[in-house]
Structure 1
Amino acid sequence: MLPHLLRLSRHTPPVLMETIPREAFSPGLLRELHALANNLMAEDEEHFRVHALSNDLVHVFRRRDTRAVVGFQFWKAGPIGLPRARAIYGGKLRIQPAFRQRGLHLLSGLTFFFQDKLQHPLSRHYRLSIASPFGFVSITEALARYHPFQPRARTLEEQALRDAFLALARESDFQVDEESGVFFVGIFMTPETLGRYPPAYFGRPSARAYAAINPDFRTNGSYVGFWFRFTPDNLAALTRTTVRKMLRRQDASV
């Protein structure tokens, strides 16, 4: 299956979104994506490969002029233990700092959701993610509502989602702390990455919510799990935020 190229809005930077299915994950592609990821948050190459191969596809963002990779997002989907319910799993997300705040990852998520919804129109869709603080903030701020992962389920829905989270963790060799619900992913933030964010960033409500669950996120190599349903209010909020970010005036030099 050949990669599919999608040109983004003319108001966005000169970036192409390339859809690459798992069967086309070449060693060269994985090395290219790992190099970008490792520059932002230190991660072993084999650990990266295991996670990559647990997904269905990856959206790769490339500069249109140089074809250089500026970001990527892995995705997969499947049924969960609820009637007519499917989960969309947002895998590893990395975007170069110069190309953030442009809605690329939100466009990626909406694209994958609508493609899966077309194939399963009668299913309720959930989105599950095990995220860094930066991914958590950027996604949850675009939502009407979301829910942190609960290690101790109280309802049938929470039990089905817990089982799905634990299966996701096993596939990527992540470990979960059954008390806090934090996932050890073995990815550590570099001082350079932390230094790109001013103290005010970590004072934002979503960042404080993340730190309340995972207070040692700067050093412990662990991420927070969260989920939401693709309800009308969440879809409306995601669409509004994506369009606003894509229409934002950008520096044409990057």
Structure 2
Amino acid sequence: MKILIADDDPQILRALRITLTAKGYTVITAGDGKRAIAAAIDHSPDLYLLDLGMPNLDGIEVIHAIRGWSQAPILVVSGRAGSVDKVQALDAGADDYVTKPFSIDEFLARIRALARRGAIPAGRPDTGSVQGYDGGAPGQPREHEPTPILELGTVTVDFSARAVVDSAGGTDRHVRLTPTEWKVLELLARNAGRLVTRQTILTHIWGTEHAEDTGYLRLYLSQLRKKLEPDPSNPRFLITAPGMGYRLDVPSPGAR
């Protein structure tokens, strides 16, 4: 697997190159944003590790550029620990975020989790078993393929076209979801009307290493509500079951 590392700190580049090469990865490095984009075009990496504070295009601009042609996983590796920076990076299209300094074991686990997710073909959800709690016996998932067109009030979600349009106010406005937001929404849609536990969502999307990282999940659900709900503070569709998980309530056909 080819990994592109973009960071303006030569010591970080060297340390990560040595570590990842020793683990059998092919590593490409870039010292600024422009070189990162050029390397991405030349080498078509399978996974990206990006710093945010780079010269000649910062990390957010690089994420936007990469997402113009690639859905390969992006892991932001940054010294910025603020929630605003994390939300901005995830909204731009990053799949995960790790703050410097970090544990090398956790870092490698995140790469493995992203590599597993990157193996799922674009636009097609993983069809592996996912257990949602709906009163059924454990180990008997009852998920189904999400309805191709989902109507959530004034918002229309087209899973086949990977498009979201909000027609509030009589004007169509295109809403962009990040790759991970699509995965969360698809999982909930395949279990529409039924509770999906936090551990199920975290394990399915982030891997078993993150089954207890509920902070990630709250962040993504908050972002999805801001994009899909008419009143994010009083959600109608993306419902929380406190201490348990989340449920997608789909309105009856024609309901607005």
Higher RCO, Cα 8 Å, sep 6+: 1
Same fold? TM cut 0.5: no
- TM-score scaled by structure 1? 0.27
Larger relative strand fraction: 1
Which of the pair has more CA radius of gyration? 2
- TM-score scaled by structure 2? 0.27
